[in-house]
Each structure stands twice: as C-alpha cells, then as structure tokens.
Amino acid sequence: MKNNAEYLLEKLEKIDKNLFLEIKNNDISEKEIISNQNLLLKYIDQFEEKNQNLRRYNLNLAIENKQFIFNFSVKDLEYSKELLINKIAKNYYFPLSTKDYYLIDIDKDIYWTKERLILQKNLFTILNKLKNHEKVKGFWIYGDFGVGKSYIMISFLNFIARNLNFKVVYIFWPDFVLDYQNNISLNTSEISTAQRFNYLKMADVLIIDDIGAEKSNSWIRNNFLLPIINYRLEASKLTFFISNYSLMQYEKILQNEANAKKQQDLFENKNIMRIIERIKGLLYGEIDLKGKNYRNF
C-alpha cells in the first residue's frame, strides 16, 4: 500500500515532470514531502481542477535549498481587476457611479501637467502625512469644466481606500441634495437619511464635488451642510470641496440667492458666515486648477 509521500510523488510525476525530477535530484526526504503535503495537494488540485477557486490562479512551485517555495499569480486579468475594485469599493460609504472609477490610479492615470503641479505637490504631501498619522486639512479646488478636478480627486480617494484602508466618501453635491430632499436611496440597498448624514460626518476623508451648482435651499445649508462641516471641523477630519467657483464666489452665490428670496435677514447672514468660516477652517486654502478641457479628448 502506498504511503502519502509515494502517492504525492506519483501525482507530481504525471503533472509536472520537471518538479518531480527536482525532488529526486535534491534528495527531498519523505518527511519533508509529508510536512508540505497540504501545499502539494493544492498544487496538484489546480491541474486536476478539483478546486474551482484555484482555476483563477497560477500556483508556481519550486525548490530552493531543499525547501518548497510557492508563488501565486492571478490567471484572469478581469478577476484581478474585480478583486481590486472590491478592495477599494468596500471603503467607500457610497458607491461611485461606475466601477471603472475605482481603478483610476493617482500614480499611473494622472497626467501631471505644469498647471496641475501645485495640486500634485499638495496631494502627495497630504498622503505622506496621512501615512504618518498626522492631522491634515483639505483644499477648495476650483476651475473650469473638464480640467480634471473630479478625476484627480477620485484617484486620490482610491489611493487612500486601497493603501491606507480609510473610510471615504465622494458625493456629487447637486445630486446628493436632490436625493436627500426626495429621500431617494443612493444605493440598491436602502440607506436611511440618518445614515447618509452620519456617513458624511464620520468618513475619514470626504470630498464634496460641484458645490455651488446645487439648487439653493437654506434649510439644507443650515440643517444639513452646516452640522456636517461643523462636526468635521471639530473632529479634524480631512475634507475637500470641488467647485467651478472660488470660495469668495460661492459666498456671493449664497448671499445673492438669499437676497432673491428676501431672506437676507440677520439670521440668514450669520448662517452664511458660519458656513463659509467653517469651510475655511477645514482648509489649507484654495487651488485654482487650470488647463484644457479633457472631456474633449
């Protein structure tokens, strides 16, 4: 009757003659074979396709200094992409609009033009500080349509979600406000109004995109935006704003809309000032991102 070592050697001789000969030439003992039998069986399984999961991998086996050395590599590029998406997406409190956005890589996919160098320098400085667990602030990033504001900042969030395992939120503010007002779920599974509110407060990194383009609503500003940014300011949580307007222009938009609705009383003025001052408290400053419209390419 064959022992376990003989059985394994017989199997290996059939599926990988070179490895079988290596074992023989290196005088690998039966004891060593038995001690590695679980790994050897996994190696055999991938050829016999008994293990469905192993079909997705290349399990490479070699011998160095009379020891078995294993290396895994993913066979299926699409499956590898899916794994990466899932790893990043699990750290987003709200899903991005398309899965491909999770694959935007700040190191590989961003063309750092001379107009973008100030933003690049500041983002990489922030990343280094985050790695060292230092407290950091964000930026108000503004510029014309299509210059890459959102694309770059999503790549920044992806890096943080993938490498630092932080919980992040990216929201397109006009749609978010509309959904919040209409109480529409942001996901296929129901996300309550209270959960949305808490996610924006508690996320390690929050990016509010296209602020200033929303249909203005003083109730949303005073009872939703203000408490969120106030909490994040007190908790020193990293926050970014993306807009087509400078912060001064955004302030004027709020004031003009309040004037148009005849709400320019002392209370409304103070609330607008509170919002602007708290936003400033969350930021190192503003970055005016210039460049061509990349949506045309």
Which pLDDT belongs to residue 54?
A: 47
CATH 3.40.50.300 domain locations along the chain: 80-296
Which pLDDT belongs to residue 157?
A: 98
pLDDT in tens, 234-283: 999 999 999 999 999 999 988 887 676 665 566 777 888 999 999 999 99
Which pLDDT belongs to residue 74?
A: 57
**Which element (helix H / strand E) includes 68?**
strand 67-74
| The CA-based dihedral angle spanning residues 246, 252, 255, 261, taken in that order and rounded to the nearest 10 degrees | -100
Which pLDDT belongs to residue 48?
A: 63
DSSP letters, 156-204, are: HHHHIIIII---EEEEEHHHHHHHHHHT--SSSS---HHHHHHHHHH-S
Rg of the chain over Cα atoms, rounded to whole angstroms, equals 27
DSSP letters, 194-242, are: HHHHHHHHH-SEEEEESTT-S---HHHIIIIIHHHHHHHHHTT-EEEEE
**Nearest Cα to 260, choosing from 210, 201, 216, 204?**
216
**Percent of the chain's residues with pLDDT above 90:** 50
Which pLDDT belongs to residue 71?
A: 67
Which pLDDT belongs to residue 125?
A: 97
Low-confidence ranges of the chain (pLDDT < 70): 1-2, 46-59, 70-79, 183-191, 216, 258, 260-266, 297
138 by DSSP, 3-state: which?
strand
Topology of the domain covering 80-296: Rossmann fold (3.40.50)
Which pLDDT belongs to residue 138?
A: 98
pLDDT in tens, 42-80: 777 766 655 555 455 566 777 777 777 766 565 565 667
Helices (H) and strands (E) in the chain, counts: 13, 7
